Amino acid sequence: MFRYRDLMRRGVPAAEVDAAADTIDGLLATSADKLEGEGLSPTAAALSAFVILLREGLEALLVVAAIVALLVKAGRRDALVWIHLGWIGALVAGGLTWFAASALIEISGATREFTEGVTALLAAAILLYVGVWLHGKRHAHAWQAFIDTRLRGALARGTLWALAGVSFLAVYREAFETVLFYQALWQQAGQAALGSIVVGFACAVVVLAAVAWLILRYGVRLPLGTFFAVSALLLAALAVVFTGHGLRALQEAGSIAATPFGEIDLPALGVYATRETLGAQLLVLALVAAGFFVQGRRRAR
């Protein structure tokens, strides 16, 4: 589809466009035949449910767990309520999305992709800001000064709202996507495989809980400088990933162009072979490098 859109945009000869359209028609016919066949087996349904939640939940978990560990490290357990409000609110919003998608409105593919894209880009922007901010606090004296002047003062409210916003956006983006994936899985698997879907879902929850426990148990034990450096790099990397996912979703919605570039696609890392996504990710990397450099210069002074 991306190639077809690009051909249309560039105004290539009609024969080339028709050939691409014929290829798409053939792929759609093949997909329709598969969907009209027998439903998923119980094993396939359970495995699909497990992989969907694990894949979608892991990115959000890394963000939320890193922020929780940050506040615990700072001795600000009282502020954890903001983070919990963020991700709990996102889960509630995800549940409402499920209800709306199944009972109230028909969410089209374009609407879904557009919503995912905008949410991912908002999350990427906040992750970039928080990542650079954490990098500037990686030295003990800088962190202590921040605690004395900000976390213990009235200005801390803005910071906590930002952290709550990161928690909400990171979780809601994945919850929104998970809701729609599970809805499609449910329809394809049928009522007979409902128990298998629940089993796969429960297993993924257990794995995610174990990952969260490991991060919180061992993350807070790291030396201050190491903890902040690792957290800053993690959040900056996730900003790059979210940028790729967000722009890809907007491309799938037809909101922005998709110019093919190369052959490498790494969806798990948010890397897609288009000029727009790769260019934006390079820009984010440049902003990360510039932010880290400026923070280093300020510390040197």
Give pLDDT tens digits for 150-179. 444 433 555 677 777 878 887 887 787 777
The whole-number pLDDT of residue 278 equals 93
pLDDT, average across residues 28-49 = 63
Answering whether pTM is above 0.85, one says no
The whole-number pLDDT of residue 264 equals 80
- 97/143: higher pLDDT: 97
The whole-number pLDDT of residue 155 equals 36
The whole-number pLDDT of residue 204 equals 92
The whole-number pLDDT of residue 54 equals 83
Distance from chain centroid for Cα 64: 12
pLDDT, average across residues 244-271 = 83
Give pLDDT tens digits for 54-85. 877 877 787 787 778 777 776 777 778 888 88
The whole-number pLDDT of residue 139 equals 56
Of 27-41, 130-144, 173-187, highest mean pLDDT: 173-187
The whole-number pLDDT of residue 283 equals 94
Cα-flanking dihedrals φ and ψ of residue 38, to 5°? Answer: -65, 155
Question: What value does the mean pLDDT of the chain take?
Answer: 74
Give pLDDT tens digits for 90-126. 889 888 877 776 665 555 556 667 777 887 787 788 7
